[in-house]
Amino acid sequence: MSAGVLTAKVPGRRGILPGFSLTMGLSVSYLGLIVLLPIAALLLKASGLSWHEFVVATTSPRALAAYEVTAVSALEAVAFNAVLGLLFSWVLARYDFPGRRLLDSVMDLPFAMPTAVAGVALTAAFAHNGVFGQFLEPLGIKIAHAQPGIAMAMAFTSLPFVVRTLQPVIEDLDLDGEEAARILGASELQVFLRVVLPVIAPALIAGVTLAFARCLGEFGAIIFIAGNRPFETEIAALLIYIRLEEYDYGAATAIATVVLAVAFLVMLATNALQAWQQRYLDKG
């Protein structure tokens, strides 16, 4: 996952694996069969629509509202996770304390848990009669069956992406640099902003991007906690599902194509940003 982050090129390392052509061939055919083929099928189905039909399907007011709900919630979720993920990975990488291994494993739970289970559990906790909901609702804070619930479900399922991307990088951080900065009189804030952050930033960005892409596609956890009301709490993935229920495969794949394209563009932009940053770091 963090492959693109720290690709220090060790000379001669390539020879460890038996036969470049074999491994490369396997990777490419796997990627082709399992990842690209279904996506190609999706695009093919969408291409059955005329350009006009495609535009109508993807830019209906309801679809636009669904993109907005999805994107805004995803941004909220990753903003939250950027801060919290940094904190968690810092704690896990830098400190040794009783229960650290346990906490480390718990961090993976959102990966392992069926997202629908997560959705049901979050809804139960934040509904007005739930463990948290009963205290929040009297204060006028509505989470289940409202937009904040969507952001919360997204944050829940995407947190490990940030933590698991950042943690190894923080573990590998050279403490000498920080020490040197302190000796030279830098404040703790300066050490963090000038010494630590530039090194971990690519990993942070990578993690946040992965989390964002995950949020765009999340379905199982969200449909339980969102109100699923059109224009208010209806996410793009649900609209795709609804179009399928109408046997409208064309419109469903058209909307799916838009979501997929956005996720892909975000990934691409991040990779470019990382490559640029890597060059910058290598020079420095």
Partner 1 sequence: MKKGVVFAAALGLSLAPLAVQAQPADILNVSYDIARELYAQLNPPFQAQWQKEGGQSVEVRQSHGGSSKQARSILEGLPADVVTFNQVTDVQALANRGLVRADWQQAFPNQASPYYSLPSFLVRKGNPKHIHNWDDLARADVRVVMPNPKTSGNARYTYLAAYAFALEKFGNDQEKAKDFVRKLLGNVPVFDTGGRGATTTFVERETGDVLVTFEAEVNGIRKEFGADKFESIVPPVSVLAEFPVAVVDKVVDKRDSRKVATAYLNYLWSPEAQDILARNYNRVRDAKVAEKYKAQFPEVRLYTVELFGGWSNIQKVHFAEGGILDQVFEKR
Task: Identify which of residues 96 and 246 has a Cβ nearer to partner 1 in the complex.
Answer: 246
Task: Identify which of residues 127 and 203 has a Cβ nearer to partner 1 in the complex.
Answer: 127
Task: Identify which of residues 90 and 241 has a Cβ nearer to partner 1 in the complex.
Answer: 241
Distance of closest approach, residue 145 Cβ to partner 1, in angstroms: 5
For the CA atoms of 68, 239, 53, 253, the dihedral, rounded to the nearest 10 degrees, stands at 110
How crowded is residue 237: how many other Cβ atoms within 10 Å of its Cβ? 20
Task: Identify which of residues 39 and 64 has a Cβ nearer to partner 1 in the complex.
Answer: 64
Distance of closest approach, residue 47 Cβ to partner 1, in angstroms: 19
Distance of closest approach, residue 45 Cβ to partner 1, in angstroms: 12
Task: Identify which of residues 53 and 178 has a Cβ nearer to partner 1 in the complex.
Answer: 53
Task: Identify which of residues 59 and 277 has a Cβ nearer to partner 1 in the complex.
Answer: 59
CB–CB of 89/163 below 8 Å? yes
Task: Identify which of residues 145 and 164 has a Cβ nearer to partner 1 in the complex.
Answer: 145
Q: How far is CA 222 from CA 43, 144, 151, 156, 238, in A?
A: 25, 10, 9, 10, 9
Distance of closest approach, residue 244 Cβ to partner 1, in angstroms: 7
Distance CA 35, CA 31 (A): 5
Q: How far is CA 197 from CA 192, 194, 209, 213, 269, in A?
A: 6, 6, 17, 23, 20
Distance of closest approach, residue 73 Cβ to partner 1, in angstroms: 17
Distance of closest approach, residue 41 Cβ to partner 1, in angstroms: 12
Which residue, among 250, 248, 252, has the nearest Cα to 238 in the 3D structure? 252
Distance of closest approach, residue 231 Cβ to partner 1, in angstroms: 7
Q: How far is CA 149 from CA 126, 131, 253, 270, in A?
A: 8, 15, 26, 27
Binding-site ranges for partner 1 (CB under 8 A): 60-62, 123-124, 127-130, 144-145, 223-224, 227-231, 238, 241-248, 251
- Say which residues have a Cβ less than 8 Å from residue 172's Cβ, sequence separation at least 6: 6
Distance CA 110, CA 107 (A): 7
Which residue, among 81, 26, 72, has the nearest Cα to 216 in the 3D structure? 72
